[in-house]
């Protein structure tokens, strides 16, 4: 009996399973014909099938109706019956479409009308409009964009904006930056046609907040750019006037008479002012013509000895036989032709003040011994005398020679070097501080104009040309050249050609090169413009090989990208892959 019941129960359960499977199959067939949308209690959609998604425009309204208690209603103009079932804290929404084809046709027609209207608006816009997708590929541009930029639709549509950047068509893309920063972006963009535009890239997002398209609005800034250039010229003139005023102030303040715009020279001036307050021996080193005497003047002016004398002597300019008597003086009757009463030397004359021994490396070894005694004992003995004379002086020495090397060669005493090198000051050469060249030119030019009652000025091109020269004679050479060119010029504004012409008659390094070029038969003489273009083309080719894109090449060459593209076209240069 129990066995029969078990068999019965198995058949019953099997029948139930078969019935449930058939029911599920029918339900699945039915579900494929209707839309299904499942919404949880927090109004979040947890499931939707393809048919339901055709009605996604109505989802918000349907969910509102479900939470308001609706169970059955219809939607229009695309007919569908909506049934809402609440079960297990979820709303199951069923869409029963009465005429799916009619709905889709009407929806397509409506979208087509909207698209046509949108295209008409975009194409009639006075501003340029470019639309790209989420990958940066251009999918549409209006006629105004081509009028503004000169870039046709066939050259842009279907192209990736990154390619246009790399090829130098545009210097930077607003759309790519907007994609990277995930926000609206406005930039100034340069086109290789020479046009400058203002571009605003606005992202278009889907329901999940992801960017699907970007709309770029473009406005021409070429006119504004011309105004900007005018403003820049005015600013340059104002800067020039300001520098000239600063030069006028320098005439009354020795501290400002040292032109120090570079960090290196500013550091020298700061060190000098600190040293001025310390009554110690100073050794100034640097090439000839760097301005060692200016530093000496500054030290004395701001030292406690400022009211005392400042005596300067060039150890290399006085014959060795006379240098000792000049420095230390002599007693009466010491040598023929000498003053009968004897004569005080420069150390005595500089008492309570400062003595500057320029070109100390030229001092003979016997005198170096006597100078060492002065440094150690602060007293001198006149030539022909035996009585020490105490002196109260500050000693500043200077040289353009390598004293360390001279010590190795035995031409300069090591003990004297250490006594002189208590506080060293090194003045960098002009080629090490090229930022000072143009300010120095203004300084010297103002002095020449004031001295001779003239009014000359250099063009910016001429000023910049001075920075390409190494200036072996340093500041002294620069000063002499500025004065010569200024006085020899017959024009109020001196350009680069005036400089080149004047250098033919001087003894500067560029002149030697120039004279060598015209006297050496092995050198091919070619027009300057042709040679410059050859060098420029070679430099562009080298830079293009060194950098991955035209934009980065332009940055390295410090020119606008549009300028580089024009020059590449001029010289028929193409970037190698």
Place of tokens 């090229």: 434
Contact predicate 161/529, CB 8 Å: no
Are 255-428 and 434-499 equal in CATH topology? no
Cβ atoms of residues 449 and 456 within 8 Å: yes
Return all residues near 158 (Cβ < 8 A) that are at least 6 apart: 137, 138, 139
Helix segments in 214-285, DSSP class H? 222-250, 263-276
Residue 340: the pLDDT is 65
pLDDT at 575: 73
Domain ranges of the chain: 1-32, 34-99, 125-220, 255-428, 434-499, 528-570
Q: Which fold has domain 255-428?
A: Rossmann fold (3.40.50)
Are 178 and 185 within 8 A, CB to CB? yes
CATH number of the domain located at residue range(s) 34-99 in this protein? 3.40.1840.10
pLDDT at 514: 32
Distance CA 263, CA 427 (A): 12
Residue 510: predicted pLDDT: 44
Other Cβ atoms less than 10 A from the Cβ of 215: the count is 17
In 10 A of CB 318, how many CB atoms?
16
pLDDT at 27 (0 to 100): 45
Give pLDDT, residue 343: 84
Alpha carbon separation from 491 to 430, 456, 457, 494 (Å, rounded)? 28, 7, 9, 6
Q: pLDDT value at position 394? A: 95
Note the pLDDT of residue 38: 93
Supply the pLDDT for residue 255. Answer: 45
Please name the residue ranges forming H helices in 339-473. 346-349, 365-377, 403-409, 414-420, 437-452, 460-465
Whole-Å CA distances, 382 to 327, 344, 379: 9, 8, 10
What is the pLDDT, as a whole number, of residue 426?
A: 95
Residue 424 is inside which H or E element, if any? strand 423-426
Q: Is domain 434-499 annotated with CATH 3.40.50.2300?
A: no
How do 394-399 and 282-285 pair as beta strands?
Answer: parallel
Q: For residue 235, what pLDDT is reported?
A: 78
Other beta carbons within 10 Å of 295: 25
pLDDT at residue 451, as a whole number? 87
- Element spanning 562, H or E: helix 561-570
pLDDT of residue 52: 85
Strand 354-358, strand 343-344: pairing: unpaired
Evaluate whether 379 touches 418 at the Cβ level (below 8 Å): no
Residue 191 contacts by C-beta under 8 Å, 6 or more apart in sequence? Answer: 149, 150, 151, 169, 170, 197, 562
Superfamily of segment(s) 125-220:
PAS domain (3.30.450.20)
Q: Is the pTM of this model over 0.75?
A: no
Residue pair 66/40 in contact (Cβ under 8 Å)? The answer is: no
Give the per-residue pLDDT at 173.
Answer: 92
- Note down pLDDT in tens along the chain; length 577 residues: 444 443 344 444 444 444 444 444 444 444 456 889 999 989 999 999 988 888 888 888 889 988 988 888 887 766 678 889 988 889 999 988 765 555 556 666 666 776 676 677 677 777 888 999 999 999 988 988 888 888 988 889 999 999 999 999 999 999 999 999 999 999 989 999 888 888 999 999 988 889 989 999 988 877 666 777 777 887 777 776 666 555 455 444 544 467 888 889 989 999 999 999 999 999 999 999 999 999 999 999 989 999 999 999 998 888 877 888 889 888 876 665 556 677 888 999 999 999 999 999 999 998 999 999 899 989 988 888 888 899 999 999 999 999 999 999 999 999 999 999 999 999 999 999 988 898 899 888 888 988 888 888 988 888 888 888 888 889 999 999 999 999 988 888 988 888 888 776 544 444 444 333 323 333 345 677 777 787 788 788 877 877 778 888 888 788 888 888 888 888 888 876 5
């Amino acid at each position: 009996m129990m066995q029969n019941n078990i068999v019965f129960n198995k058949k019953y359960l099997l029948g139930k399973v078969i019935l449930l499977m058939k029911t599920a199959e029918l339900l699945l067939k039915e579900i494929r014909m209707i839309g299904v949308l499942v919404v949880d209690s927090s109004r979040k959609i947890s499931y939707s099938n393809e048919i339901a998604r055709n009605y996604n425009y109505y989802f918000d309204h349907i969910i509102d109706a479900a939470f308001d208690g609706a169970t059955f209603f219809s939607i229009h103009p695309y007919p569908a019956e909506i049934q809402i079932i609440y079960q297990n804290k979820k709303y199951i929404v069923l869409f029963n479409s009465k005429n799916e084809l009619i709905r889709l046709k009407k929806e397509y027609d409506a979208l087509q009308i909207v698209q046509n209207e949108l295209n008409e608006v975009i194409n009639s816009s006075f501003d340029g409009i470019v639309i790209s997708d989420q990958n940066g590929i251009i999918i549409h541009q209006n006629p105004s964009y081509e009028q503004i930029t000169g870039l046709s639709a066939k050259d842009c549509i279907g192209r990736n904006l990154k390619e246009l950047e790399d090829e130098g068509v545009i210097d930077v893309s607003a759309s790519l930056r907007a994609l990277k920063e995930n926000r609206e972006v406005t930039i100034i963009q340069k086109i290789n046609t020479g046009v400058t535009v203002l571009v605003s890239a606005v992202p278009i997002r889907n329901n999940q907040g992801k960017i699907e398209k970007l709309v770029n609005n473009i406005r021409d800034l070429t006119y504004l750019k011309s105004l900007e250039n005018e403003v820049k010229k005015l600013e340059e003139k104002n800067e020039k006037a300001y520098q000239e005023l600063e030069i006028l102030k320098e005439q009354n303040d020795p501290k400002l008479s040292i032109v120090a715009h570079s960090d290196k020279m500013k550091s020298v001036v700061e060190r000098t002012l600190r040293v001025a307050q310390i009554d110690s021996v100073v050794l100034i080193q640097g090439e000839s013509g760097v301005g060692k005497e200016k530093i000496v003047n500054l030290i004395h002016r701001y030292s406690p000895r400022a009211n005392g004398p400042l005596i300067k002597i060039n150890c290399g300019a006085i014959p060795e036989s006379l240098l000792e008597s000049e420095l230390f003086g002599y007693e009466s009757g010491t040598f023929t032709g000498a003053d009968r009463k004897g004569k005080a030397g420069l150390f005595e004359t500089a008492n309570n003040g400062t003595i500057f021994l320029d070109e100390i490396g030229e001092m003979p070894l016997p005198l170096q011994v006597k100078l060492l005694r002065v440094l150690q004992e602060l007293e001198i003995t006149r030539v022909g005398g035996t009585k020490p004379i105490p002196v109260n002086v500050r000693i500043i020495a200077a040289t353009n020679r390598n004293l360390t090397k001279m010590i190795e060669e035995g031409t300069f005493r090591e003990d004297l070097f250490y006594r002189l090198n208590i506080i060293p000051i090194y003045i960098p050469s002009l080629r090490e501080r090229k930022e000072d060249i143009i300010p120095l030119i203004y300084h010297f030019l103002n002095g020449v104009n004031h001295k001779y009652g003239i009014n000359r000025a250099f063009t910016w091109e001429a000023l910049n040309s001075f920075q390409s020269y190494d200036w072996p004679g340093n500041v002294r050479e620069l000063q002499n050249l500025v004065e010569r060119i200024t006085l020899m010029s017959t024009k109020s504004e001196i350009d680069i050609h005036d400089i080149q012409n004047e250098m033919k008659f001087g003894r500067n390094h560029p002149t030697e090169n120039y004279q060598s070029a015209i006297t050496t038969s092995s050198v091919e003489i070619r027009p300057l413009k042709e040679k410059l273009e050859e060098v420029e083309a070679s430099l562009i080719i080298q830079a293009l090989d060194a950098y991955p894109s035209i934009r980065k090449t332009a940055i390295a060459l410090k020119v606008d990208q549009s300028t580089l593209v024009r020059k590449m076209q001029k010289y028929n240069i193409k970037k190698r892959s």
